[in-house]
Chains A and B, each alone.
Chain A
Amino acid sequence: MKIKYFAWIKDITNKEFEIIARNHPKNIEELKIVLKKNYPDLEKHLDQDVLRFAINLEYTFENQNLNSNDEIAIFPPVSGG
């Protein structure tokens, strides 16, 4: 499972992506728990529900299940244009 981070999320994780090879989270809620544990500074943003999640390039708005070969992206609200 590949987790990608963008914009100021990267400033908190200090990495653009990471691979979870074993015991990967089974769904988005489990992933949030892992993120809070590994990156305490993300907790308030996750709790405020401001971050957006995409699984395999598609937005997800619910607690979708995750598979070992998924690419998950975590990012703040967008600001293009």
Chain B
Amino acid sequence: MIKIQKKDFNIEQEIKLLKDKYSNVGAVISFIGFVRDINNKKDVKYIELEVYEKMAIKELSKIKDNAVKKFDLVDCLIVHRYGRLDVNDRIVLVVCFSEHRNNSFEACKFIMDYLKKDVPFWKKEIYFKGSDWLENTN
């Protein structure tokens, strides 16, 4: 399942929603990305996240399908927010469901690596003085 939304997400509810569908899931691994207060030695006030939504859904779906196939996942959930996000706000949630733990651990990293490389989101950090558009480096 792929979700792109402005509003925050409830991790427990999101996981339960999918987990309840499967009795063969023995491992659920999640990754949550947050807005940090300091980046590149600058005090972050808040961030603006821009998205090319139609393409982001398409790219996330491709990554999810690849991960399910490569790591034999039972299912997978990706939620990514956009708009204004303050320090400590959640940005992204990736949850992988598999029979055994290693598949989901590896799949979470795989999904985040490709998400940061290919999915059309852009972060603008607003500092107490000025602002910068960011670029993912790894």
Q: Is B122 an interface residue (CB 8 A)?
A: yes
Show the binding face of B for A, using Cβ within 8 Å.
33, 49-52, 54-56, 58, 80, 91-92, 112, 115-124, 133-136
CA gap between A6 and B51 in the complex, in Å: 8
Interface-side segment among A18-26, A27-35, A61-69, A70-78: A70-78
What secondary structure prevails in chain B residues at the interface with A? mixed
Q: Are B52 and A6 in contact (CB under 8 A)?
A: yes
Q: Are A79 and B52 in contact (CB under 8 A)?
A: no
Q: Is A1 an interface residue (CB 8 A)?
A: no
**Number of residues from A at the complex interface, CB < 8 A:** 16
What's the minimum C-beta distance from A73 to chain B, rounded to whole angstroms? 6
What secondary structure prevails in chain A residues at the interface with B? loop
Q: Are B122 and A54 in contact (CB under 8 A)?
A: no
Q: Are B115 and A81 in contact (CB under 8 A)?
A: yes
Chain B neighbourhood of A59, CB < 8 A? 118
